């Protein structure tokens, strides 16, 4: 697998699902991640390739995700720093994006299931656009090399108020499901 494909798969499985919802501000490093999040995870991607994810503490309430695939050339792995927050019944992760994607921050949801799975959810860009048009969130549409994007400019407390509302649960789209690694 080419390195660029691996990089896009990693971003896709962690933060993106076709289109991208970005934010001006990251989640502050005020909260510790749940301990079961740390460790090694794996899954088969859409092409049947084995994907690996290792999550470790990188500082005080700051974490590092290292991702690679079984066919990654030269053993190259992608690494991403992130912070987490727990609001309502949901956990969120926030990671900085590279300049080519606007150098803002992506926010995704995650869940640790009773079946020892890590499920990652992205925000549905079409639904977010509808909410912007309806006035629930403020922001603007953008274009990136990877496709359409949305930059949310609403303050994070307003964003979390919107995301935590159970009436808005359908704004989340599952993008990856990892199993705890047996190794």
Q: Quick: pLDDT tens for 110-141.
A: 999 999 999 999 999 889 999 999 999 999 98
Average pLDDT over residues 147-155: 87
- Our count of domains for the chain comes to 1
Determine the structural domain holding residue 140 and report its residue range. 3-180
Which residue pairs, CB below 8 angstroms and at least 24 apart, start in 2-9? 2/73, 3/72, 3/73, 3/74, 3/76, 6/67, 6/68, 6/69, 6/72, 6/73, 6/76, 6/78, 7/78, 8/146, 9/45, 9/51, 9/69
CA–chain centroid gap for 40, Å, is: 17
Band the pLDDT of 94: cuts 50, 70, 90.
very high
* Confidence (pTM): 0.83
């Amino acid at each position: 697998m080419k390195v660029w494909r691996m990089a896009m798969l990693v971003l896709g499985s962690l933060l993106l699902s076709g289109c991208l919802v970005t934010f001006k501000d990251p989640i502050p490093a005020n909260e510790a991640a749940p301990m079961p999040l740390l460790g090694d995870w794996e899954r088969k991607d859409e092409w049947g390739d084995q994907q690996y994810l290792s999550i470790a503490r990188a500082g005080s309430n700051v974490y590092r995700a290292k991702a690679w695939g079984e066919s990654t050339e030269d053993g190259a792995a992608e690494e991403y720093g992130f912070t987490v927050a727990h609001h309502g019944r949901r956990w969120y992760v926030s990671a900085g994006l590279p300049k080519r994607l606007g150098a803002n921050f992506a926010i995704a949801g995650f869940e640790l299931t009773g079946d020892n799975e890590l499920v990652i959810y992205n925000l549905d860009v079409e639904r977010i656009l509808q909410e912007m048009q309806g006035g629930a969130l403020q922001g603007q549409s953008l274009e990136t090399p990877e496709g359409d994007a949305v930059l949310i400019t609403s303050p994070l407390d307003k964003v979390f108020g919107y995301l935590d509302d159970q009436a808005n649960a359908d704004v989340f789209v599952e993008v990856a499901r990892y199993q705890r690694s047996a190794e």
